[in-house]
C-alpha cells in the first residue's frame, strides 16, 4: 500500500507542486508538504496523530510504587507508556534489553527506552 507522502501534492490555494519536508519536534519526525509560494504546511495525518497521542500522554502524571528487589529498587511502569513505546520500538521483542536510566537532577530520574531522534 502506498503512503500519502510518496505522492505529489498541489497547494489548494496556489495550484503549485508542494515540497516534501521533515521537521523534528520533541523527538518526533513530522513529515509535511510545504507550498514554495504561500508557505502553507500540510502535515502527514499519521505523524500528527502519533504526536498528539504523545502530547496527551505527556500531560498525565502517574503515581507508581517503588519496591525493594534484592539490593536494587524497582519501579512499575504504567501500561499506557509501554503500549505507546511499543508502537515505535517494538518493545515486545526488546523487553529483556537494557534501558538507559539516569539521575537528571535531585528528585528526577529518567528512563530512555531508545535513542532520541535529532
The CATH-assigned architecture of domain 4-58 is: Single Sheet (2.20)
| Rounded Cα gap, residues 59 and 83, in angstroms | 16
Confirm if 99 and 114 have CB atoms less than 8 A apart. Answer: no
- The pLDDT value given to residue 79: 83
Residues belonging to the chain? 118
Unique residue bearing C-alpha cell 517494538:
90
Output the nine-digit C-alpha cell for 40.
502553507
Looking at the whole model, is its pTM more than 0.75?
no
Write out pLDDT tens, residues 75-118: 888 888 877 776 666 544 544 555 677 778 878 878 776 655 44
* Confidence (pLDDT) at 97: 57
Question: Is pLDDT above 80 for 4?
Answer: no
Integer Cα distance of 31 and 48 in angstroms: 9
The count of other CB atoms within 10 Å of the CB of residue 52 is 10
Question: Tell me, what's the pLDDT at 3?
Answer: 76
Amino acid at each position: 500500500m502506498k503512503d500519502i507522502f510518496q505522492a505529489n501534492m498541489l497547494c489548494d490555494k496556489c495550484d503549485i507542486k508542494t515540497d516534501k519536508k521533515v521537521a523534528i519536534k520533541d523527538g518526533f519526525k513530522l513529515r509535511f508538504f510545504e507550498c514554495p509560494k504561500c508557505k502553507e504546511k500540510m502535515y502527514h495525518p499519521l505523524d500528527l496523530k502519533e504526536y498528539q497521542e504523545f502530547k496527551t500522554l505527556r500531560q498525565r502524571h502517574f503515581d507508581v510504587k517503588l519496591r525493594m528487589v534484592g539490593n536494587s529498587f524497582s519501579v512499575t511502569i504504567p501500561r499506557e507508556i509501554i503500549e505507546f513505546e511499543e508502537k515505535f520500538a517494538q518493545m515486545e521483542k526488546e523487553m529483556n534489553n537494557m534501558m538507559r536510566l539516569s539521575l537528571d537532577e535531585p528528585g528526577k530520574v529518567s528512563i530512555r527506552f531508545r535513542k532520541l531522534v535529532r
